[in-house]
Amino acid sequence: MNYQPDWGSLITHPTPKWFKEAKFGIYTHWGVYSVPAFGPNATVYPYYMYRKGSRQYEHHLQTYGLPSKFGYKDFIPMFTGEKFDPQEWAEHFRNSGAKFAGLVGEHCDGFAMWDSQLTEWNAARMGPCRDVVGELALAIRQQGMHFMVSFHHFENWFFYPHLFKDYDTGDPRYSSLYGPIHDLTSIPEERDWLECWWEQERPTKEFHERWMAKIIEVVDRYQPDMLWFDFALRFVQERYKKEILAYYYNKASELGKEVAVTYKWHDLAPGSGIVDLELGRFDALTYHDWITDTTIDSGCGWGYLRETQYKSLSTLIHYLIDNVSKNGCLLLNVGPKPNGEFPYQAHELLKGLGNWLSLNGEAIYGTTPWMTYGEGPTQMPKAGYFMEDQEVIYTAQDIRYTAKDNILYAICLGWATQPIQMNELKRLYPGEIFSIKMLGVDQELTWSLTPAGLTVNPPDQKPCEHAFVLKIFRGASVNS
């Protein structure tokens, strides 16, 4: 199909079958910001290190000196990546149970992670001196996964302070990294540049075209199966949004590929891509496909942090299950160290996810939502963009449903020592259920269906930890 750069054409692009079936992906924030590795959010260190009074500024002053003497560019030689092994990364991703994987192509800092002909500030020429995007694309596909790249680089326009000439960010020699110098004289130093974005000079035509050219370079060279856009897409002039979508979708059509684009808020016309809720989730079943991106640490650090707390394995598994039951997917971020190694805690969590999915994955992969997402006594936090994905303590009566063919999966988010009561299943007819098992348990379970719902007696022993899947075999029609 030939897509035109208008919403009427772009909204006809379907969600890929592989994306609907995959449910779970992994990506990494790995870049120059992995060197200071100071939080709470590693990726905004270059933004705050130039802002007096911020935690990052004080840390930078004590650790590296004045930012006027040691700027962000001076971290690049320290971003060595000497232990970066794309095959090992891809194996970690596959072993976690992820079906698609990738990385940040370029964050707000202006440092590209591919061998770019459009900027000298890239990982193939500096730092690791490796084409990280290209090498990972090959390794991930060799593991049978789809490959994705995320883009954050439109934020480069307002990310650094160009006003203060004693900083390297105001030196035109480094504009390819720090962004073109533009008028910030109306923004007092004590104000947050991000909060007053609209008060700045708007990005120029040249900046828009450079933004688009970088994406096209990645699309043409590496043919990603998925593009992920951060919140700054809202500031891109509408014409360029439509043009990049049309280019990507048409290029995929030429290659016979199914591709996906994810975006935040209402930054694209509904239907032209897949909406993403950062750190959020819907509190009910939706009629449209969606995805959450969250990070493996509990402090929303995104990139590697030397000091951080990690989410529990139960939290990650429950988050995935809850998303899938509501017609969503989960994209989980892991931040490698500047040398390319994965933190031990992150590696163990990825293994734990893979272990759970190796037993219970049939209730996740390739499923569809059922007529209700679930039931239970636990109060779900309301959904919303940038909702903090807090840990929720579930019980055995907190249940999520998925479906496949004539099978209904009831996933209990806690272990039951008493009969499991599913009130929502009172809608089933007598004779509609053939048998019920729990994944990982050989025996059939005893059960009864009454006008009050379905009651199932659990097995004596746990087949796993964290969540437990009842597999309900059903007939296509009720008995006469």
Angstrom distance (rounded) from CA 138 to CA 409 = 35
pLDDT at residue 386, rounded to an integer: 38
The pLDDT score that the predictor gives to residue 118 is: 98
| Start-end of CATH 3.20.20.80 domains in the chain | 7-278
How far apart CA 273 and CA 253 sit, in angstroms, is 16
Spell out the alpha helix ranges (H) of 223-274: 238-255
Q: Which helix (H) or strand (E) holds 90?
A: helix 86-95
| Beta strand ranges found along 141-207 (DSSP E) | 146-151
451 class by beta-carbon count within 10 Å (0-12 exposed, 13-18 middle, 19+ buried): exposed
In angstroms, the Cα distances linking 313 to 267, 320, 354, 399 are 32, 11, 11, 18
Angle between helices 344-360 and 86-95 (to 10 degrees): 40
Query: What pTM was computed for the model?
Result: 0.95
Pair of tokens at residue 350: 């990825």
Q: Which residue in 183, 158, 162, 184 sits closest to 171, CA to CA? A: 162
The answer to whether the beta carbons of residues 314 and 320 sit under 8 Å apart is no
Residues 6+ apart with CB under 8 A from 254: none
| CB-based contacts of 397, cutoff 8 Å, min separation 6 | 375, 376, 377, 412, 414, 416, 420, 421
| pLDDT score recorded for residue 384 | 46
Q: Name the percent of the chain in helix, strand, coil, to the closest 5.
A: 30, 20, 50
d(CA 413, CA 465): 10
Angstrom distance (rounded) from CA 243 to CA 460: 58
- Sheet architecture: strand order including 433-438: 368-375, 399-404, 407-412, 468-474, 433-438
Q: What's the pLDDT at 182?
A: 84
Domain with CATH 2.60.40.1180 in the chain: 385-474
How far apart, in Å, are the Cα atoms of 322 and each of 97, 153, 200, 354, 465?
17, 31, 40, 17, 16
Please tell me the CATH code under which domain 7-278 is placed.
3.20.20.80
What is the amino acid identity at position 126? M
Which residues on adjacent β-strands are paired with residue 408? 403, 472
d(CA 224, CA 304): 24
Can you name the CATH fold of 385-474?
A: Immunoglobulin-like (2.60.40)
Query: What's the token pair of residue 252?
Result: 């995929």
The residue among 468, 356, 411, 440 whose CA lies nearest residue 96 is 356
Report the length, in residues, of the chain: 480
Q: What's the Cα-to-Cα distance from 182 to each of 34, 112, 162, 424, 470, rounded to whole Å?
A: 28, 22, 7, 59, 59
pLDDT (tens, 9 = 90+) of the chain, 480 residues, equals 899 999 999 999 999 999 999 999 999 999 999 999 999 999 999 999 998 889 999 999 999 999 999 999 999 999 999 999 999 999 999 999 999 999 999 999 999 999 999 999 999 999 999 999 999 999 999 999 999 999 999 999 989 988 777 899 999 999 999 999 886 555 555 666 566 666 677 899 999 999 999 999 999 999 999 999 998 899 999 999 999 999 999 999 999 999 999 999 889 999 999 999 988 888 889 999 999 999 999 878 899 999 999 999 999 999 999 999 999 999 999 999 999 999 999 999 999 999 999 999 999 999 999 999 999 987 666 554 435 556 778 889 999 999 999 999 999 999 999 999 999 999 999 889 999 999 999 999 999 999 999 999 999 999 999 999 999 999 866 554
